[in-house]
Amino acid sequence: MELLTGTVETITYQNQDNAFIVFKLQPRGQKNLVPVVGYFAAPLLGEEVELTGEWVEHPRFGRQFKAASFKRIQPTSLAGIERYLGSGAIKGIGPAMAGRLVKKFGAETLTVIELFPHRLVEVEGIGQKKADQICQSYAEQDEMREIMLFLETHGVSGAYAAKLYACYGGQVVAILQQNPYRLAEEVEGIGFRKADQIARSLGFDANHPERLAAGIQFALLQTAQAGHCCVPESALVEEAAKLLAAELAEVSLILQHLIREEKLCREDFHGTTLLYPRHLFYAERRVADRLLRLRDRAKPVSAGDHQEIVAEWEAGARISLAQAQREALAAALAHGVLVLTGGPGTGKTTTVQGILAVLEQQGFKILLGAPTGRAAKRLAETTGREAVTVHRMLESTGGLEGAPLFTRDEENPLDADVVILDEVSMMDILLTHYFLKAVPDGCRVVLVGDVDQLPAVGPGSVLKDIIRSKVLPVVRLTEVFRQANESIIVQNAHRINRGQPPDCGKNADFQFHQIESAEQVAAAILRLVKQDLAAEGFNPQRDVQVLSPMHRQVCGVENLNKQLQAALNPPKEPDLTVTGVAQVFRSGDKVMQMRNNYEKNVFNGDIGFIAEIDTNRIVVRYPDNDVPYERSDFDQLQLAYCLSVHKSQGSEYPVVVLPIVPGHYIMLQRNLLYTAVTRAKEKVILLGTQAALYTALSNDRTRRRYTLLAERLQGEALC
């Protein structure tokens, strides 16, 4: 290992994700600049650093210094001090001011800022306020430097330093030494694994109680990520013990402690102890309470026979409703809560129109919404009224994932007599909780959705649980009104839902391409999208949506995205490419927002196109707005040429293309195929093997999610 000391001249490249950095160094006492590469947080321009590393010969870039670590040394030369101060690192000092400071205080400049800041006002252009600002910013830099050094010594990339500093200020080091596991709960972007890495490097024992407690919480949240609201105690202990490589008894002991301290919640149900993360426990309880209360407290409708009101509407609208549709209208008049479910073409929209009309006739103020932007847009189109996302209805004001902030709540409820929500199969327990909190007493709630679709990505199976409970009014529409010749997609969706193979014989709007190998399927998808469908007049980017059951493998989302990007949006010269998390973005790319971002007003599943791109900034054009992303937000975006079926929920596309190959067998489920097919309006193309198709059709074992919502609604005696 060699030592190399010098001044940082330019930062050539910096990758925020893995902290890989390339910069040019002016070695002390030498004339020529030297390229340096390494894995650490970037030093500041003009900073003096001492590098430890070795000289290597890069096949393309030639001789360079590969630094294993570096230490910052305060700049000593006048030019170095000026450069450092003028680099923008210190708030209130630009290059010109840096020059004036160095001219005035010379080699003592940094000492003056640090120890005699009252002298700063001697420099032209610095008043007391500016002097205070410089002094404070310098102190912060100093603290940051200390934190970075501390983190680097413990094997954590300095990229986390800014995050930690923003959260804890100067307390970071003290907090890390006391309980680094706090980070997993308190700092966005740091999970248990990272916190554990820091803790272990700080010398925390593998069986330290804080470690075991954090591991249990982490395991519990992972079950929520898999869609459960709660988990049996024995399963949690086993999972946490495996994760922590700890004894079951040790984990169990800490778990009891956490329960006593109410860090997580417990419910005994028929001899099984179920454990909940606190927020899901309260959400589930309140959703049940609220639904029962709303069911029984609806503002009464004006006198009149409900059946007559419905019949009157039918006559006026010149429509003859099916019996179940009539029941739905009457139930909406009679009860505070109504669930309306049914597959495609069973007349849900028509029924909603009827419900709207009869309730509006009562003089009720009605709001319409859906969990995603696309679904809200569709609802607006089919009803001809304003419909918004649930987030917008609740007037979201930001907050974090899992802890959103809404203006509308029990204290400031929605101004409505009726709220109708569509695509409720996509509502998880938390969003349902926030929604119901904001519904005032006496207001009617109509929940519409297709219970056979995949459940929400988030925890719970709200729609299914409500139906299972049998204590709230539910109308299930089963009669398919669309004729076979009108929509082969609808007919086939119902066949799939019954476990029967789709009819792919004659109709070009529902095709099955028998292809044996996954590689050939991927190649056929590219050809279809780029050539065949384009030749039929479909826009490959806007009209066609490729879906996939899985992320990995040749026909998985990741690979198909890469290939479709190369085929549909190849690099243009000169074209800037920006590397996000494991993917490359280019101008014009079709991308999807991966999680709710209340501040940017863009939500999980929204799709747009990259309108502007720069190393540190991307602007995505969504249908309703342009949204800028800074580098640190890039991980919120994913290429959307191909989407997982889960992510496509609630959206519709003219054409859906779906690989269905044996390699995806874990995910080959009937409701997944059903969800994918029902996304298409005009055409469905399945590519793969008959065997894989039959596997999907015959697998209707949808994994039951652990929730007790149905039991709570039924008033089961829970502890």
Ligand X SMILES: Nc1ncnc2c1ncn2[C@@H]1O[C@H](COP(=O)(O)OP(=O)(O)OP(=O)(O)O)[C@@H](O)[C@H]1O
Which residues of the shown chain bind ligand X in the complex (CB under 6 A)?
320-322, 325, 342, 344-350, 481-482
H/E run at residue 13: strand 2-14
Least CB distance from residue 352 to ligand X, whole Å? 8
Specify the 3-state DSSP secondary structure of 436. helix
Least CB distance from residue 523 to ligand X, whole Å? 33
Which lies closer to ligand X via its Cβ, residue 346 or residue 545? 346
Which lies closer to ligand X via its Cβ, residue 43 or residue 449? 449
Least CB distance from residue 324 to ligand X, whole Å? 9
Sequence-ordered alpha helix ranges (H) in 322-372: 323-334, 348-361
Least CB distance from residue 447 to ligand X, whole Å? 15
Q: Could you tell me which of 235, 269, 272 has the C-alpha nearest to residue 255?
A: 235
Provide the token pair at 439: 């519904």
Query: How many C-beta neighbours within 10 Å does residue 151 have?
Result: 22
Which lies closer to ligand X via its Cβ, residue 152 or residue 422? 422
Least CB distance from residue 325 to ligand X, whole Å? 6
Phi, psi of 255 (to 5 degrees): -60, -45
Which lies closer to ligand X via its Cβ, residue 149 or residue 322? 322
Least CB distance from residue 351 to ligand X, whole Å? 7
Euclidean distance between CA atoms 655 and 356, whole angstroms: 31
Least CB distance from residue 607 to ligand X, whole Å? 20
**Closest residue to ligand X, based on beta-carbon distance:** 481
DSSP state, residue 154: T
Q: Is 348 annotated as a binding residue?
A: yes
Phi, psi of 469 (to 5 degrees): -65, -30
Least CB distance from residue 344 to ligand X, whole Å? 4
Q: Could you tell me which of 369, 374, 438 has the C-alpha nearest to residue 406?
A: 438
Q: Could you tell me which of 361, 654, 383 has the C-alpha nearest to residue 529?
A: 654
On the 0-12 / 13-18 / 19+ scale of CB atoms within 10 A, 198 is: buried
Cis peptide upstream of residue 574 (ω within 30 degrees of 0)? yes
Which lies closer to ligand X via its Cβ, residue 325 or residue 372? 325
Are the CB atoms for 550 and 642 separated by under 8 Å? no
3-state helix, strand, coil in the chain (%, to 5): 45, 25, 35
Query: How many C-beta neighbours within 10 Å does residue 599 have?
Result: 11
Q: Is 345 annotated as a binding residue?
A: yes
Euclidean distance between CA atoms 24 and 42, whole angstroms: 12
Which lies closer to ligand X via its Cβ, residue 325 or residue 636? 325
Query: How many C-beta neighbours within 10 Å does residue 347 have?
Result: 23
Which lies closer to ligand X via its Cβ, residue 453 or residue 604? 453
Which lies closer to ligand X via its Cβ, residue 325 or residue 669? 325
Specify the 3-state DSSP secondary structure of 645. helix
Provide the token pair at 198: 């820091």
Q: Is 346 annotated as a binding residue?
A: yes
Euclidean distance between CA atoms 424 and 466, whole angstroms: 11
Least CB distance from residue 291 to ligand X, whole Å? 23
Phi, psi of 480 (to 5 degrees): -95, 120
Pairing label, strands 544-548, 653-660? parallel
Least CB distance from residue 505 to ligand X, whole Å? 22
Which lies closer to ligand X via its Cβ, residue 355 or residue 709? 355
Which lies closer to ligand X via its Cβ, residue 38 or residue 455? 455
Phi, psi of 527 (to 5 degrees): -65, -45
Annotated binding site for ATP: 345-349
Annotated binding site: 345-349
